[in-house]
């Protein structure tokens, strides 16, 4: 800073602080010091301005404002069609003019006093030596660090812990089934041990290169995604040493104050979901604390004109943005619509309604919007609150939004009727417009794009078989039988998509076009990346029907994974399921441990392990307890017992 600085209040020109030449060791301190000084001056100017402006404001703006809070939660900030509004604010009018005058006078005096104090402080600062000022800055810094630490350590309020039923065991009676279950556990050990050796602390593993791996959903961070994602699977399999190893890493290394831009959705389903599930299963407080710390870091993503969150957020700066590829700068339905379960639990565990309010706000906004043919488009612009491209799918971009409507209802002990209604309405529209039967008699879920139905179904959409079965009970006009049947038909179609390949593993996406049925056509759609959705559907169908075909189909998939995806350094996806000599993609996805192996293990367990009337699985297969609020107990947590 070499030019003189103007002090706005007095008009006096004062020289800049002379802190010596900006030689290297002092340079940063010099800059910071000058910045601080300027900050003080700006503050003085700001106070002066406010002081002056106060007298020029119209009378009504000086009246006191009251925010109803709750209204703000229940009604969107911006209604795309009607413009901005803020129903949570009202003014006090009335005869008590005198009282208002006194109040104004009091405020004026306060502003005057603050202003003078700030000036005094600025003058005092100018009298101090460089060392003194530096020491003060250091003290302030230490104070902030200390405050942050205290905040991190602050214990969360004790809340009644839901009755936790069936968190271990599940030994099947049948010997053959028990052996299969053991085999799945061994596969988990292989995946975990290799990650432990070659990828520890990285997000994922490259099992062939034998090193860590990551993708843009985790930004440039090394947040141990596989550890967090795998914890609850380790726990239910009884792999307690491995679980404790993971816990130790989390205690000592998992840090969210990183300058990294992450996917809000992925971090929510894998990290927050994983940490919450680990907390409920083990009762270890650290998981809850980490989940809450991380959730706080995600909150700035909701600072958009509509309250619909950005797809990505920088964990350090809080700056958010959307994926460059998303239609018209939109946020994605399956991303902003897949936060509900975790956020409700966060509010439940912290006693802080902020999380609940964020997701309810999204729900209310969606309820108000027009839906073409009753379908939810996949893209919604967070600035304007308008839909982007009219593309609807139950697979990628849409999938877990529908799943979370149903699961919000289940998780609330079936009391969240609003969520159930939204689910029922959505499913009716989906059935009417997207679900068709192929010539060969296979039921499939197509995608609505550019005004017509694309007869293509993604591997991701195969989860819907399980969803239909899970939602059968409680369906409108008691159509439980119909939805169970629909679920079974989707399971059959998805099984066909596996069975019609050389490797007996399903492609990423398959078509129904003329003679082509349940087969991928484009080379780019022939890969299998260890995804869980088909096995997930087998498991739900197994739980609801006990039809042995689901265990048989699940076992076929497990054997194919073992044969074609297992390598000495872990498990890898394959690039072409139609080629009998597979090429590996060299990625062991974290969801392979969180979901694929967990669903397989549950498929070969008895139903008393994580029973579905007590647990609801988030979209990454992390079990969260149903909040039977009438039936909770403060000592229900195994850690407290
Ligand atoms: C998982 O991360 C979740 O299941 C998500 O909902 C979508 N797909 C992947 C696994 O395929």
The finding on whether 620 has its CB within 6 A of some atom of ligand 1 is: yes
- Which of 36-40, 115-119, 226-230 shows the lowest per-residue confidence on average (mean pLDDT)? 36-40
How many beta carbons lie within 10 A of that of residue 115, not counting itself?
18
Q: How are the residues of the chain apportioned to helix, strand and coil, as percentages rounded to the nearest 5?
A: 55, 10, 35
Q: CB-based contacts of 631: which residues, under 8 Å, 6+ apart?
A: 162, 163
Higher-pLDDT residue of 531 and 450 is 531
What is the Å distance from ligand 1's center to 87 Cα?
A: 38
pLDDT in tens, 123-168: 766 666 777 777 766 666 666 566 555 555 567 788 888 889 999 9
Query: How many helices (DSSP H) and strands (DSSP E) are in the chain?
Result: 22, 25
Q: Which two tokens stand for residue 594?
A: 């969180």
- Give me the count of residues in the chain: 641
CA 212/CA 328 separation, integer angstroms:
34
The reply to whether 554 falls in a domain is yes
Q: Tell me what the mean pLDDT of segment 114-124 comes to.
A: 72
Q: Tell me what the mean pLDDT of segment 425-434 comes to.
A: 98
How many beta carbons lie within 10 A of that of residue 16, not counting itself?
13
% residues pLDDT > 70 (the chain)? 78
Three-state SS string over 137-204 comes to HHHHHHHHHHHHHHHHHCCCCCCCECCCCCCCCCCCCCHHHHHHHHHHHHHHHHHHHHHHHHHCCCCE
The reply to whether 3 falls in a domain is no
Give the pLDDT of residue 148. Answer: 59
The finding on whether 357 has its CB within 6 A of some atom of ligand 1 is: no
| Domain ranges, residue 358 | 176-625
The reply to whether 166 falls in a domain is no
Give the pLDDT of residue 119. Answer: 74
What is the Å distance from ligand 1's center to 466 Cα?
A: 14
Average pLDDT in the chain: 84
Residue 505 and residue 561 in contact, taking contact as beta carbons nearer than 8 Å: yes
The reply to whether 108 falls in a domain is no
Beta bridge partners of 625: 615
Give the pLDDT of residue 43. Answer: 59
- Give the residue carrying structure tokens 């849409």: 398
The finding on whether 202 has its CB within 6 A of some atom of ligand 1 is: no
Cα angle, residue 30 at apex, residues 26 and 33 outer, rounded to 5°: 140
Number of domains in the chain: 1
How many beta carbons lie within 10 A of that of residue 305, not counting itself?
14
CATH number reported for the structural domain that contains residue 257 in this entry: 1.50.10.10
Give the pLDDT of residue 626. Answer: 97
Higher-pLDDT residue of 535 and 100 is 535
What is the Å distance from ligand 1's center to 594 Cα?
A: 10
The reply to whether 226 falls in a domain is yes
Q: How far is CA 334 from the centre of its chain?
A: 10
Q: Which two tokens stand for residue 501?
A: 């390949």
Give the pLDDT of residue 40. Answer: 59
pLDDT in tens, 60-84: 333 332 222 322 322 222 222 322 2
The reply to whether 39 falls in a domain is no
Q: 19 pLDDT exceeds 90?
A: no
Annotated binding site for Ca(2+): 619
Place 628 in a pLDDT band, splitting at 50, 70 and 90.
confident
CA 518/CA 511 separation, integer angstroms:
5
| Residue whose C-alpha is closest to residue 391's, from 404, 403, 405, 379 | 379
The finding on whether 531 has its CB within 6 A of some atom of ligand 1 is: yes
Q: Tell me what the mean pLDDT of segment 499-525 comes to.
A: 97
| Residue whose C-alpha is closest to residue 591's, from 191, 184, 190 | 191
pLDDT in tens, 181-206: 999 999 999 999 999 999 999 999 99
Place 608 in a pLDDT band, splitting at 50, 70 and 90.
very high
Q: Tell me what the mean pLDDT of segment 393-406 comes to.
A: 98
The reply to whether 191 falls in a domain is yes
What is the Å distance from ligand 1's center to 591 Cα?
A: 7
Q: Which two tokens stand for residue 198?
A: 């070659």
The finding on whether 347 has its CB within 6 A of some atom of ligand 1 is: no
Residue with the smallest CA separation from ligand 1 atom 11 is: 531
CA 34/CA 18 separation, integer angstroms:
10
How many beta carbons lie within 10 A of that of residue 29, not counting itself?
16
Residues taking part in catalysis: 266, 399, 508, 533
CA 570/CA 452 separation, integer angstroms:
42
Closest ligand 1 atom number to CA of residue 595: 4
The reply to whether 310 falls in a domain is yes
Q: CB-based contacts of 532: which residues, under 8 Å, 6+ apart?
A: 591, 592, 595, 596, 598, 599, 621
Q: Which two tokens stand for residue 102?
A: 């006194």
Residue 558 and residue 181 in contact, taking contact as beta carbons nearer than 8 Å: no
């Amino acid at each position: 800073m070499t030019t003189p600085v103007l002090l706005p209040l007095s008009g006096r020109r004062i020289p800049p602080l002379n802190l010596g030449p900006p030689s290297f060791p002092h340079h940063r301190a010099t800059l910071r010091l000058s910045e601080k000084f300027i900050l003080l001056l700006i503050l003085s100017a700001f106070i002066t301005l406010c002081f002056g402006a106060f007298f020029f404001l119209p009378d009504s703006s000086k009246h006191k404002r009251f925010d109803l809070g709750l209204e703000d939660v229940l009604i969107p900030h911006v209604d795309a069609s009607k413009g901005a509004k803020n129903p949570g604010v009202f003014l006090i009018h009335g005869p008590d003019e005198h009282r208002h005058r006194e109040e104004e006078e009091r405020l004026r005096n306060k502003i005057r006093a603050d202003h003078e104090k700030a000036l005094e402080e600025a003058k005092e600062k100018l009298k101090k030596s460089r060392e003194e000022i530096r020491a003060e800055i250091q003290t302030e810094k230490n104070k902030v660090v200390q405050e942050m630490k205290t905040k991190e350590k602050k214990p969360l309020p004790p809340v009644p812990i839901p009755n936790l039923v069936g968190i271990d065991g599940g030994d099947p009676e049948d010997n053959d089934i028990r052996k299969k279950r053991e085999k799945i556990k061994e596969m988990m050990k292989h995946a975990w041990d290799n990650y432990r050796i070659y990828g520890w602390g990285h997000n994922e593993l490259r099992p062939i290169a034998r090193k860590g791996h990551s993708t843009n959903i985790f930004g440039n961070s090394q947040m141990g995604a596989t550890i967090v994602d795998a914890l609850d699977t380790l726990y239910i399999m009884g792999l307690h040493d491995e679980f404790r190893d993971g816990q130790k890493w989390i205690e000592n290394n998992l840090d969210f104050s990183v300058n990294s831009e992450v996917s809000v959705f992925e971090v929510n389903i894998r990290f927050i979901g994983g940490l919450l599930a680990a907390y409920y299963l083990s009762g270890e407080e650290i998981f809850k604390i980490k989940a809450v710390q991380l959730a706080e870091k995600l909150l700035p993503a909701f600072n958009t004109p509509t309250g619909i969150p950005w797809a990505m957020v920088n964990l350090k700066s809080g700056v958010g943005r959307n994926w460059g590829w998303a239609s018209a700068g939109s946020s994605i339905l399956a991303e902003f619509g897949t936060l509900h379960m975790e956020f409700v639990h966060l509010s439940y565990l912290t006693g802080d309604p902020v999380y609940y309010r964020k997701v309810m706000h999204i729900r209310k906004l969606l309820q108000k919007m027009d839906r073409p043919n009753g379908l939810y488009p996949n893209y919604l612009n967070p600035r304007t609150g308008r839909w982007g491209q009219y593309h609807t799918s139950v697979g990628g971009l849409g999938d877990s939004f529908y799943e979370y409507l149903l699961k919000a209802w289940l998780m609330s002990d079936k009391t969240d009727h609003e969520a159930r209604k939204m689910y029922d309405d959505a499913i009716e529209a989906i059935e009417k417009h997207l679900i068709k039967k192929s010539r060969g008699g296979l039921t499939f879920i197509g995608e609505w794009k550019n005004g017509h139905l694309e007869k293509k179904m993604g591997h991701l959409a195969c989860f819907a078989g399980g969803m239909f079965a899970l939602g059968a009970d409680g369906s409108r006009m008691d159509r439980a039988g119909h939805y169970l049947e629909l679920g079974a038909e989707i399971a059959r179609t998805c099984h066909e998509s596996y069975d019609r390949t050389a490797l007996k593993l399903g492609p990423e996406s398959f078509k129904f076009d003329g003679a082509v049925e349940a087969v991928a056509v484009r080379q780019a759609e022939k890969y299998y990346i260890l995804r869980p959705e088909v096995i997930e559907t087998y498991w739900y169908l197994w739980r609801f029907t006990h039809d042995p075909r689901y265990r048989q189909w699940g076992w076929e998939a497990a054997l194919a994974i073992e044969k074609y995806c297992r390598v000495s350094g872990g498990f890898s996806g394959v690039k072409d399921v139609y080629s009998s000599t597979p090429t590996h993609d060299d990625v062991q996805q974290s969801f392979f441990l969180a979901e694929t192996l967990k669903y397989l293990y549950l498929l070969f367990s008895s139903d008393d392990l994580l029973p579905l009337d007590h647990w609801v699985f988030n979209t990454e297969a992390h079990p969260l307890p149903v909040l039977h609020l009438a039936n909770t107990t403060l000592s229900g947590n195994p850690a407290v017992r």
